[in-house]
Amino acid sequence: MIDVRHLRKQYGDLVAVDDATFEVRGGEIFGLLGPNGAGKSTTIGCLSGLLRPTAGRVQILGHDIVTDGTAAKAHLGVVPQELAVYEELSARENLRYWGGAYGLGGSELARRVDEVLELVGLNDRASEPVKRYSGGMKRRLNFACGIVHRPRVLLLDEPTVGVDPQSRVRLLDLVRSEARAGNAVLYTTHYMEEAQQLCDRIAIIDHGRIMAMGTLEELRRLMGERDLLRLSGHFDSERARAALAGLEGAEVVSADASTLILAMPGAWRRLPAVFAALAAAEADVRETVLTQPSLESLFIKLTGRELRE
Amino acid sequence: MSWRLFTASLAKDLRRRLADPLALVFWFGIPLLVAGLLGLVSGGGQGPRGRLLLADADEGLVGFVIAGAVRQPPLATFFALERVSEAEGRAELAAGRASALVIVPAGATDAILNERPVTLSLVTNPSQRILPAIVQEGLEMLVEAVFYLQRLGGDTLALVRERRGTRGLLEDERVARISVDLNQRLRRLEPVLFPPVLTLAAEPAAGEGEPAAASGALDIGRLLLPGVLFMALLFVAQGTSDDIWEEQRQGTLRRAVSAPGSVLAFLAAKLASGAAIAAGASLVALVAGVALFGVPPLRAVAAWPWSVFGGVVLLCLFQVPQLVATTRQGAGLLSNLIVFPLMMVGGSFFPFEMMPAWMARIGRWTPNGQAVARLKDLLAGSADPGELAVAVMAMGAAAVLALAISARLVRRRFEVTW
């Protein structure tokens, strides 16, 4: 349903999305996982027709978003990261507007508005101005506005940012139900747990590039059985690298004057050897964090930094 | 353009407007508020004052009577009188710095007292319309009054004339004779058939300024109403065009651009809802014109569509600076930089009649100036269909161009702000 080939978006010298290729099938939740500024929202912008790609191709149900934008957009439901609702109107008026803008009308629109209000749990306050709603209620309405016209493809840009736990659970259930209905869902997030719980497939994106892509299991396999060891202190990075090269199976993921990240199997058992090697390189270790294989450790291995940095 | 998106967006924008009734009252009340403020600024409900120059070579009764009349209401409401030489007066008029020059020739008083014909000259500023006409009408009334005085009391005036050149008061006997004489003449009052001995010759001044079209009824409402109405519409245009920033702040503009309809439809709906406000504000102003300033109702009805059209054109034009700016504050500053000069030269703060000729000429070519000028014609019942058609085409073309530019700017907006 979503077919992205070699997508590139460039602003002057800044490459926001670099050669992204992926597809999302009907009934699938595809996660784009990356830190802030990784290029997730720009990718959504290109997919929704807001931004014109510098290069590459985006197709929604076979319609090119640039050359056949109207047909492509008709199948799209977009839930932007920031709220996009009229606060002076009621939830019902908001839904009527967005439904009408996508071509629904008459009794069909009225029926669908009632249905969606019920779905997101806002029917009892549907006639109140949105400005009186809580943050969680606004988020649910934001989601409802994206699905009111029954889109086949849903683009969700971090829809749970700033949402209370109760509303988050409800929103994630709604996303799952959209996928169960056979719709394709592209879901961006920087919450590791959310991606793990929700997504059928995940692409890890950083600096505009897709670093890895697959199911959760496939991604874990990429990491192997290696633990991730993060050491903080004072290092001569070249001497530290040289000292650690002698340890079997150890890979220096990143090294600078204050942080050293190592991937190695059975790291918890081999800590004395690591410390001895670093002592020989005159390193001053102040803190050690050992992480077992996970999506997060894969992200760190791939990008050299943590997801929340 | 997507008709479906247009109708949905129009309904949505009208609902949003109705959700804020106080703002609507403010929009509709602007014309009354502005008219009230202008009234206070120009002296408690009175109109702006022009300069009336008096070149009195006679230095006798005629100049005294004219000066006295101008310093009394109602002429004092409109004019400040200045005595000048004829040469100075003509120079001032040629420079467009006065409304009219009245020239009283030497020997005018003697001529009247001796029933000899004499002509007063009125030289008017051709770039002004209302104020010179007020002077002309006032002087014509004065000339008529002198004429009837001549007919009624020529002999009585002769009694006064006999005393001229001697100092002191009239004797009691002579005063009694004059009174009895006047009383008898009033009893014998009949239609007067003789030609007047005092006439007024009016001419426009040579120099700058275009001749003004013939004017109808002279009232302060007609002078101020068109400018005030379009001042209100400029405020409406400036205020409602800011709504695009509200859409951006609420995130709804981004969602709308992602919808399958065209941006043009979204913007056109916004303009249509703005047009509804412009229609309301114009209606209030024109009804006030009818009720307070005696504007003929049929002319007000004819002027309404023009006012709404002018308002829509201004809305289209003001959308562009809102979208050119990269911040809401910048957009506000930019539109202020445009709106106030437009009001100053476009006939809203001051009627064209009160402006120097060069400024009035520039002002009439601004979008609101053109709208004000044609509205003035419509209210005066002197609109030229050809001129009106040209204005509709020129202003309509500018509005369409502005709308197309705005749609393009909206689409490009997300390329830099995403």
Segment B309-327, tens digit of pLDDT: 999 999 999 999 999 988 8
Question: In this predicted structure, what is the pLDDT of residue B381?
Answer: 83
Please indicate whether, in this complex, the C-beta atoms of A84 and B4 are within 8 angstroms of each other.
no
Question: In this predicted structure, what is the pLDDT of residue B205?
Answer: 62
pLDDT digits (tens, 9 = 90+) for B37-71: 655 655 444 445 678 888 988 887 788 888 887 77
Question: In this predicted structure, what is the pLDDT of residue B213?
Answer: 39
Question: Mutation test of the interface with chain B: which of A54, A86, A108, A145, choosing the one with the most B Cβ atoms within 10 A?
Answer: A86
pLDDT digits (tens, 9 = 90+) for A242-272: 888 888 888 888 888 889 988 888 888 889 9
Question: In this predicted structure, what is the pLDDT of residue A300?
Answer: 77
User: Which residues in chain A come in under a pLDDT of 50?
Assistant: none
CATH code 3.40.1710 region(s) in chain B: 50-204
Question: In this predicted structure, what is the pLDDT of residue B173?
Answer: 73
B50-204 placed in CATH 2.40.128: no
Reported ipTM: the value is 0.76
pLDDT digits (tens, 9 = 90+) for A32-64: 988 888 888 899 999 998 888 999 999 999 999
Give the confidence band of B152 by pLDDT, cuts at 50, 70, 90: low
Kindly report whether the peptide bond that precedes residue B74 is cis, defined as omega within 30 degrees of 0: yes
A15 and A112 in a single domain? The answer is yes
Higher pLDDT among residues B224 and A243, named by residue: A243
Rg of the Cα atoms in chain B: 29
Res B235 pLDDT > 50: yes
Please indicate whether, in this complex, the C-beta atoms of B250 and A84 are within 8 angstroms of each other.
yes
pLDDT digits (tens, 9 = 90+) for B255-303: 888 888 778 889 999 999 999 999 998 998 888 888 877 788 999 999 9
Q: Among residues 303-332 of chain B, which lie with CB inside 8 Å of chain A?
A: none
pLDDT digits (tens, 9 = 90+) for B71-93: 776 677 677 888 888 888 888 88
Q: What six digits make up the tokens of A107?
A: 């009794």
Please indicate whether, in this complex, the C-beta atoms of B16 and A86 are within 8 angstroms of each other.
yes
Residues of B in contact with A97 (CB under 8 A): 8-9, 11-12
pLDDT digits (tens, 9 = 90+) for A127-154: 999 999 988 889 999 999 999 999 999 9
DSSP A142-206: HHHHHHTT--SEEEEESTTTT--HHHHHHHHHHHHHHHHTT-EEEEEES-HHHHHHH-SEEEEEE
Give the H or E element holding residue B121. Answer: strand B118-124
Q: What six digits make up the tokens of B215?
A: 């004017």
What does the alpha-carbon distance between residue B94 and residue B83 come to, in Å, rounded to a whole number?
17
A112 and A232 in a single domain? The answer is no
Question: In this predicted structure, what is the pLDDT of residue B195?
Answer: 43
- B51 touches B79 (CB < 8 A): yes
Question: In this predicted structure, what is the pLDDT of residue B405?
Answer: 93
Please indicate whether, in this complex, the C-beta atoms of A45 and B5 are within 8 angstroms of each other.
no
- Within A52-164, residue ranges assigned H as helices are 69-74, 91-101, 106-120, 135-147
Question: In this predicted structure, what is the pLDDT of residue A227?
Answer: 82
Please indicate whether, in this complex, the C-beta atoms of B12 and A129 are within 8 angstroms of each other.
no
Domain count, chain A: 2
Question: In this predicted structure, what is the pLDDT of residue B210?
Answer: 45
Q: Measure A196 CA to nearest chain B CA, in Å.
A: 27
Is residue A307 domain-resident? no
Enter the pTM of the model. Answer: 0.68
Is residue A61 domain-resident? yes
- The label of the residue with tokens 């399958």 reads B260
Q: What is the CATH number of the domain that holds A269?
A: 3.30.70.1150
Question: In this predicted structure, what is the pLDDT of residue B170?
Answer: 64
- The label of the residue with tokens 């633990």 reads A227
A117 and A237 in a single domain? The answer is no
A99 and A167 in a single domain? The answer is yes
A167 and A283 in a single domain? The answer is no
- A118 touches A61 (CB < 8 A): no
Question: In this predicted structure, what is the pLDDT of residue B206?
Answer: 59
DSSP A277-303: HHHHTT-EEEEEEEE-SSHHHHHHHHH
A158 and A229 in a single domain? The answer is no
- Which residue range(s) make up the domain with A232? 225-292
Is residue A78 domain-resident? yes
Q: Residue B418: which of A42, A49, A98 has the nearest Cβ?
A: A42
Question: In this predicted structure, what is the pLDDT of residue A306?
Answer: 65
A233 and A284 in a single domain? The answer is yes
Domain final residue, candidates A159, A187, A220 = A220
A267 and A166 in a single domain? The answer is no
Question: In this predicted structure, what is the pLDDT of residue B417?
Answer: 43
Q: What six digits make up the tokens of B13?
A: 């924008």
Is residue A306 domain-resident? no
A209 and A231 in a single domain? The answer is no
Other C-beta atoms closer than 10 Å to the C-beta of B347 total: 31
Q: Measure A97 CA to nearest chain B CA, in Å.
A: 6
A216 and A229 in a single domain? The answer is no
A206 and A139 in a single domain? The answer is yes
Question: In this predicted structure, what is the pLDDT of residue B160?
Answer: 62
Residues of B in contact with A129 (CB under 8 A): 19
Question: In this predicted structure, what is the pLDDT of residue B64?
Answer: 82
What does the alpha-carbon distance between residue A284 and residue B229 come to, in Å, rounded to a whole number?
78
Please indicate whether, in this complex, the C-beta atoms of B260 and A48 are within 8 angstroms of each other.
no
Residue count of chain B: 418
Q: What is the CATH number of the domain that holds A49?
A: 3.40.50.300
3-state secondary structure (DSSP) of residue B111: helix
Residues of A in contact with B16 (CB under 8 A): 86, 88-89
A75 and A184 in a single domain? The answer is yes
Is residue A109 domain-resident? yes
